[in-house]
Amino acid sequence: MDSTQSPCKYFQINCILPSKSDRYQIKDYLGTGCSGIVTQCIKLSTQEKVAVKVFEEENDDMAEKEVEIHEILQRLEQNEKYFPRLTDCFEHKKNVCLVFELLDKDLAALVECCGEPEPLSLPQIRVIAQQMLVTLNMLQSTQIMHTDIKPDNIMLVNHDLQPFRVKLIDFGLAMKISKFFRGTKIQPISYRAPEVFLGLPANQAVDMWSLGCVLVYLYLGQDLFSFFSEYKAMRDIVQIQGMPEDCMLNIGLYTHDYFKKNVPEGTWILKKRPSKGQSVNYKNLDDIARKNITDPIEYEDTQAFLSLLKCMLQINPEKRITPSVALEHTFITMEHFPSDANDSEYVQSSHLTIKLCQLEQSSVKEKEETITKSDAVNTSSDDRNTKCNTPDIVNAGSNYRKRGSNTPDKVSSSGDDNKTEYISTDRDDSKAEHNRPTSEAIRTSSDDRKTEYVEVKTRKKWLLRIRRFFSGLFKTLCCVNADVVE
């Protein structure tokens, strides 16, 4: 970062960062990013170690958005199991500071901890996949797209005490589906979904694609698709997964950046470009399987893993698996293990990994969690303060909001611009309907475990408009009747 613009000069080691509720002393730098720096601090009132994310002054809009996203996430049941706790928010030297619980290391650091990549075993990948699928399922209920899922943004909580317990971090680029504009470039190149490359409408299916790429990275110790350029990444996708369907290519804003029409036949073909570096070494996903597997149970587990990857890396997002369905996949539930194989060393290893992670066995077969849609905005203020243990965050967030800035609505339905227009005519409508996220109100849990349904604001607006229309019509008829009587 440029030292003249970086907040580092105001955030030196041992500096004190005062907030309204506490004081934090910087002890170390944990990393840098496009928004600013992350520091390790001591919370002076308790001597607790925390992570303080410092945003550069020009990125205060990213900070505001991240606070708003965390306000939503903190209202979800069991949110602290899957998302980092945001405990404080304040300004220092015109830089917004967000205080989070201190986590361990990210998955990229885990794989590359010894200099050489060390791929994970399938039992280890399974517990990470299950937790991330629950995380995506929770995000789906809120209509939030993370848009930046990669190994660096999946953190181990405490690898010594809870091996492979993870949380998804960094919501600085997250957004509501309705806020996504078609053609916007999101996601790192190696983890970018085909619909984003092509400039098509996008939804939360992009996060499922990214998670699939992360699981391959954990299995291979390297990225599946190129990160050198967008063209190379698309070329790798085509080589492994095949061509995107014509219904996608015909309406893509950026289709011609990668493809051209073969004049005689009128079919789409990938453009040929001279580029450095070889293409990916795999012809399909089956080729990534490890060689010389002698254990038949491990072989079956590998086939189940590849089956899940194929569902997650479907080029057409309408056919891509959803989190709730993925949680029922045999790789996650381990139902493909023979019933008489409990004495198998591989099966015992799989169950032990779950136990050490302190992941409940029943949660491995967890079905879709029905969590409050529309961010539980319609719940009472008392209920919000009860669920969010850091009410100071809301007040602190309002202190640094720009004058005249419009705070995004907490409830918004998907805009027409993001409706999927590239549905293949030969797809299974019943299956697609099963995979499609619900657009109606779904359940929200209150502290007394009672369940209530939350209406979507857009529906309320329409009902209000209809009522106003009929009210005006009624008044008009009354006036006409009065004139007739006179």
- Give the DSSP letter string of 108-159: HHHHTTBSB--PPPHHHHHHHHHHHHHHHHHHHHHTEE----SGGGEEEEET
> Predicted confidence band at 449 (pLDDT cuts at 50, 70, 90)?
very low
Q: Please state the length of the chain.
A: 486
Taking the C-alpha atoms of residue 193 and residue 357, their distance in angstroms, rounded to an integer, is 30
Q: What is the pLDDT of residue 252?
A: 96
- 52-61, 319-328, 456-465 — most confident range: 319-328
- Cβ atoms 77, 446 nearer than 8 A: no
Structure tokens at 429: 């409508």
Name the packing angle between helices 122-142 and 296-312 (round to 10°).
30
Can you give the pLDDT at residue 33? 78
Arithmetic mean of pLDDT, 188-192: 96
User: In Å, how far are 6, 11, 164, 486 from 3, measured between CA atoms?
Assistant: 5, 12, 36, 82
pLDDT of the residue at 465: 56
Residue 406 is predicted with a pLDDT of: 37
> What is residue 422's predicted lDDT score, i.e. its pLDDT?
54
**What local confidence, expressed as pLDDT, does residue 417 receive?**
46
Query: Which of 7 and 453 is assigned the larger pLDDT?
Result: 7
DSSP H or E segment with residue 166: strand 162-168
pLDDT of residue 36: 87
Could you report the per-residue pLDDT of 416-429, keeping only the tens digit for each? Answer: 445 444 544 343 44
Average pLDDT across the chain, whole number: 79
CB-CB contact of 251 with 421 (8 Å): yes
Q: So what's the pLDDT on residue 263? A: 79
Total-model pTM: 0.75
Catalytic residue among 148, 223, 236, 301: 148
The answer on pLDDT for 209 being more than 70 is yes
Residue 50 host element (H or E)? strand 48-55
Residue 77: what pLDDT?
87
The whole-number average pLDDT for the span 49-76 is 92
Lowest mean pLDDT among 95-99, 174-178, 228-232, 438-442: 438-442
Structure tokens at 15: 């500096």
364-419 pLDDT, tens digit each: 444 334 344 434 333 333 443 333 334 444 444 444 444 334 333 333 333 444 54
Q: Centre a 10 Å sphere on the Cβ of residue 119 and count the other Cβ atoms it contains.
A: 15
Give me the helix-helix angle, 60-73 and 392-399, nearest 10°. Answer: 160
| Model pLDDT for residues 211-242, shown as the tens digit of each residue | 999 999 999 999 999 988 999 999 999 999 99
| 420, two tokens | 């999927």
**Among candidate residues 63, 48, 117, 138, the one with its CA nearest the CA of residue 94:** 63
CB 178 within 8 A of CB 408: no
Q: How far apart are CA 201 and CA 188, in angstroms?
A: 18
pLDDT digits (tens, 9 = 90+) for 291-328: 989 999 999 999 999 999 999 999 999 999 999 999 99
- Quick one: pLDDT band at residue 451, thresholds 50, 70, 90? very low
Could you give the domains of the chain?
7-103 (3.30.200.20), 107-365 (1.10.510.10)
* C-alpha angle 127-188-287 in degrees, rounded to nearest 5: 60
CB 89 within 8 A of CB 66: no
The confidence band for 10, taking pLDDT boundaries of 50, 70 and 90, is confident
Q: Is 286 assigned a catalytic role?
A: no
